[in-house]
Amino acid sequence: MKFLSKVLLFCALANSATLAIPKSKQFTSSNFLLESRAQHQTRDVKNLTSYIWNGGEVAGPRFASVTAEVIIPNITFPYGYNASARYGASVWVGIGGDQNTCDDPARINNGGLIQGGYYYLYDPEGDFGVFAFYEWFPDGPVFLDDTEGIETSIGDHVRMTVTQKDNVTEWIVESFMTTKDHETLFPDFGELHFTEIKAISAANEEVSLQEHGIIVEAEPVLGNGKYLTDCEITGSDATKCKWLGYKGIFES
């Protein structure tokens, strides 16, 4: 198992210095638009619709840490691989990222969300693979293969952990396909399973997903009924997301 818990050691550095991102990875930062990153619409108590987030979250007590494990699934290109296109998604855990449920929405714009996980990144500039990262939004991602020599690949069993004090935690598959960016395509990962999810409160208590978990699914054009994934909480510490596709997602 590979551990991305080293993220904890670096989060404090993210706001104190500007770390270089290789040119071929810089496009990821431009896609973290606040309007598409944090806005959700409530469908019911246990479900939220997002522009680009897929997975789950818990809101309630003040949290101190969140952990989840993933076996990185293979990806495919269901509509045919386009060598001139970009394909991208990120899988991560985070604390403090949902302005609709966190206790201080203004912090999202000022060092609120801390996240750590990995990117799928396939682009014409030469990056092709899986890359571990951490990020302290609104700063861009720091890629750990570049800064720490941490390599990740398809089939790896990874554990992702982030610590911060806030009242919302997330475990997310993030798409970069928005109404303003149709070009960064969402690769087909089949099914992705978050397991061993642990949202630990500041009082050192573990929160039950079955009692308090909220499913989040991406509908890039809110209200048109076309979702990128189908996610469900599958146990007290697990969430499954199934890729549904993006063809025609922006058509009315």
What is the tens place of the pLDDT at every residue in 43-74? 454 889 999 999 999 988 889 999 999 999 99
- C-beta separation of 89 from 166 below 8 A: no
The full length of the chain comes to 252
* pLDDT at residue number 16: 25
Q: Is residue 144 part of a domain?
A: yes
Per-residue pLDDT of the chain (252 residues; tens, 9 = 90+): 655 543 433 332 232 222 333 445 655 544 443 334 445 554 454 889 999 999 999 988 889 999 999 999 999 988 988 888 899 999 999 998 665 544 455 544 444 789 999 999 998 887 789 999 999 888 889 999 888 999 999 999 999 999 998 889 999 999 999 888 888 999 999 999 999 999 999 999 999 898 899 999 999 998 899 999 999 999 899 999 999 999 999 886
Residue with tokens 């990020």: 135
User: Is 20 domain-assigned?
Assistant: no
Q: Tell me how far apart the alpha carbons of residues 97 and 38 are, in angstroms, rounded to a whole number.
A: 7
Q: What is the pLDDT of residue 205?
A: 94
Q: Tell whether 174 is covered by a domain.
A: yes
The domain tally of the chain equals 1
Q: What gap in Å lies between CA 182 and CA 66, rounded to an integer?
A: 31
Residue 97 tokens read as 């990222």
Closest CA to 201 of 102, 69, 9, 59: 59
Residue 131 inside a domain? The answer is yes
Q: Is 248 among the domain residues?
A: no
pLDDT of residue 87: 93
In a domain? residue 167? yes
Let me know if residue 25 belongs to a domain: no
Q: In this predicted structure, what is the pLDDT of residue 91? A: 98
Residue 89 is part of which domain span?
2-13+30-243
